[in-house]
Structure 1
């Protein structure tokens, strides 16, 4: 989907996503000292807003102006800067440069070549010692899980993401698939979705 299609999707309903942060983003960042964060492909800003509420200064980047405007309204006076840009081509302002303490990519669904560009944009925004965090629908979810995209081209594994950063200096804190419980909502048994979770610390090159 391109920016116009996402604009239409965001305009068609009050909220496409929840107002609460993704559970893995919240869990993995809860103990990090607040600093400067970038949320690439931020959508309506649920993760960016939550991070700002925890004391982070956040840059929320998305190519949907409609999604960002909804996030801006939800954020109130939270410390979030909203930037309309494509995650595969975004670069930080020259004044900021590679000074982010945290870079988040949550459920960005792109084919491998474009995904690699977004992953590297997030990585290049980090200072040495900064945290890279990606959460996405895992490749195995198609056959073993529930929900999520049905196009295998936009699914990924932790190994794929590490491959996107081949040659970069990092410490792996987490690189695997994780289970996400999806409530049935109809009184039936809850189901399991499988997500890819990669958390790295950038080391000095």
Structure 2
């Protein structure tokens, strides 16, 4: 889906995603001392807003102006710079970040690689890179998420995207996410995500 498509989707409902942060973002980043954070492909800004509330100075980048406009309203008064740009071509322009987050940016391999490398290159040495996405195995073993295998990924593929870079792997693998129907009527199902957390060296 292109930027115009996402603009239409974000305008069509109050919130496409939940207001709170993704559970893995909260788990993996809550212990880090606040600094400068980059949320690449931030959507409506739920993770950027959570980071800012933890004391981070956040740059939230997304190619959907409608998504950013929602985030700006929800995050009013917080230290967030909302930037309309494409994660595949965005550049830090010399700025350095203590953490970079990419959450559920589902792209074909070459485009994913561009976004991953753009985010990683924005980190200072010692900075943390965190990617969470729908895992390739979710298509046959999990629930929900994109049904196009071309935009799904594994942790190993994300690490390959970072080939040539020097980093310490803190976590790289498949993680389970429990998905409820929201009404308590259906049994909870399991979705499978890939999670990659590395520190730049």
| TM-score, length of structure 2 as denominator length | 0.98
Q: In 2, Cα distance between the equivalents of 1:15 and 1:188?
A: 23
Following the alignment from structure 2 to structure 1, what is the Cα–Cα distance between the partners of residues 200 and 120?
8
Report how far residue 167 of structure 1 moved: 1.5
Structure 1 partner of 2:200: 202
| Structure-1 residue corresponding to 2:170 | 173
Q: 172, 191, 195: which is aligned to 2:189?
A: 191
The residue aligned with 1:34 is 34
Structure 2 residue matching 1:113: 3-state secondary structure:
helix
**Paired residue total:** 200
Matched, 1:123 2:120: yes
- Name the SS of the counterpart of 2:178 in structure 1: strand
- The answer for unaligned runs of 5 or more in structure 1 is none
CA apart distance, 1:93: 3.8
1:66: which partner in 2? 66
Calculate the aligned-residue CA RMSD, in Å. Answer: 0.8
Cα distance in 2 between the residues matched to 1:133 and 1:186: 31
Greater than 6 Å deviation, 4+ residue runs: none
1:19-168 map, 5 Å: 19-94=19-94, 96=95, 99-168=96-165
Deviation (angstroms), 1:151 = 0.2
Give the structure-1-normalised TM-score. Answer: 0.96
Aligned mates of 2:38, 2:76 — CA distance in 1: 18
CA distance in 2, matches of 1:87, 1:154: 15
Deviation at 1:186, TM superposition (A): 4.7
Shift of 1:146: 0.3
Gapped runs of 5+ residues in structure 2? none
SS of 2:32's equivalent in the other structure is coil
Q: Deviations over 1:180-202 (max 9, x none)?
A: 00013352221000000000000
**What secondary structure, in the 3-state scheme, does the structure 2 residue paired with 1:147 have?**
coil
